[in-house]
């Protein structure tokens, strides 16, 4: 008999997009590696710094971008309260990471949960539901046309350097005016705003996952000015890079 909640702990090689939906609420988390999640016209990257809580029955598409070790938790609607949103992506706190790690041995085939396992899983769900109330702004709309998808891919590949909008337009067989219109229509933002979002998402991941100095991270993601980086980061995240890092590790 499948328990009311269990952990799916397994390793995977990189793989292309796969669409699925689960009959349980689903905490999608990668202990190692990075997942791309697409749903509801948006997409997120999920390194170990972030997780997603997906309501039962909600369809999502997942791509495994690098070798992955998953430690996701699934729980039945009868086990604990349902998520307030059908999909929420959020930063994973140190407490949540420790609880997820503790749950790894309780798989779907493990039989009835011990009282200890029951309490730990219930505590994890409580913590995750609280974290999910503050969704991460590190999200991009999903392009709907192949031409824009390719332009976005090139922008991501070149984001750490000095990508040129005209060169990207030419490489994707579009005029700059046509490509600008696609960004506005499909992404809801300009190409420059999209580039900034890509850089800041990478900065968030670097701040959460390592100890590199803020100045080093700013230059690594494509900024030439620390003050410009700090201002852009605060505009997106509501706090400075140093404040974000301190909050993440508290």
Residue 209: the pLDDT is 72
Q: Is the torsion defined by CA of 90, 62, 60, 113 positive or negative? A: negative
CB 56 within 8 A of CB 75: no
Report the C-alpha gap between 20 and 123 in whole angstroms. 27
7, two tokens = 């952990």
Residue 131: the pLDDT is 97
Domain extent listing, the chain: 5-131, 142-249
CB 200 within 8 A of CB 194: no
Residue 46: the pLDDT is 92
Residue 28: the pLDDT is 97
105, two tokens = 């041995």
Residue 49: the pLDDT is 87
The reply to whether the predicted model has a pTM over 0.75 is: yes
| DSSP string of the chain, one letter each residue | ---SEEEEEEEE--EEEEEE--SSEEEE-EEES-EEEEETTEEEEE-TTEEEEE-TT--EEEEE-S-EEEEEEEE-TTTSPPPSSSEEEEEPPHHHHHHHHHTTT--TTS-SPPHHHHHHHHHHHHHHHHHTTS--S--EEPPSSHHHHHHHHHHHHHTTS---HHHHHHHTT--HHHHHHHIIIIISS-HHHHHHHHHHHHHHHHHHH----HHHHHHHTT-S-HHHHHHHHHHHHSS-HHHHHHHHH-
CATH architecture of the domain covering 5-131: Sandwich (2.60)
Q: What is the CATH number of domain 142-249?
A: 1.10.10.60
Residue 148: the pLDDT is 97
Residue-by-residue pLDDT tens, the chain, 250 positions: 789 999 999 999 999 899 999 999 999 999 999 899 999 999 999 988 899 999 999 999 999 988 999 999 999 999 999 999 999 999 999 899 999 999 999 999 988 999 999 999 999 999 999 999 999 999 999 999 999 999 999 999 999 999 999 999 999 999 999 999 999 999 999 999 999 999 999 998 888 777 899 999 999 999 999 999 999 999 999 999 999 888 766 5
């Amino acid at each position: 008999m499948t328990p009311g909640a269990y952990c799916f702990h397994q390793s995977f090689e990189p793989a292309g997009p796969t669409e699925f939906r689960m009959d349980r609420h689903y905490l999608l988390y990668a202990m190692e590696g990075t997942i791309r999640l697409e749903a509801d016209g948006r997409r997120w990257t999920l390194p170990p710094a972030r997780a997603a809580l997906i309501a039962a029955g909600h369809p999502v598409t997942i791509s495994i971008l690098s070798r992955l070790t998953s430690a996701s938790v699934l729980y039945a609607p009868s086990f604990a309260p349902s998520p307030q949103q059908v999909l929420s992506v959020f930063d994973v706190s140190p407490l949540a990471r420790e609880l997820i790690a503790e749950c790894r041995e309780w798989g779907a085939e493990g039989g009835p949960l011990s009282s200890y396992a029951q309490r730990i899983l219930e505590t994890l769900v409580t913590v995750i539901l609280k974290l999910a109330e503050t969704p991460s702004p590190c999200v991009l709309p999903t392009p709907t046309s192949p031409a824009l998808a390719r332009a976005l891919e090139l922008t991501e590949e070149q984001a750490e350097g000095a990508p040129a909008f005209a060169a990207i337009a030419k490489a994707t067989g579009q005029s700059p005016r046509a490509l600008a219109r696609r960004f506005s229509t499909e992404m809801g933002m300009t190409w420059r705003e999209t580039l900034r979002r890509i850089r800041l998402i990478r900065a968030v991941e670097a701040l959460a996952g390592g100890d590199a100095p803020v100045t080093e991270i700013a230059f690594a993601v494509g900024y030439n000015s620390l003050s410009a980086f700090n201002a852009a980061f605060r505009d997106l995240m509501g706090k400075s890079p140093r404040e974000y890092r301190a909050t993440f590790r508290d």
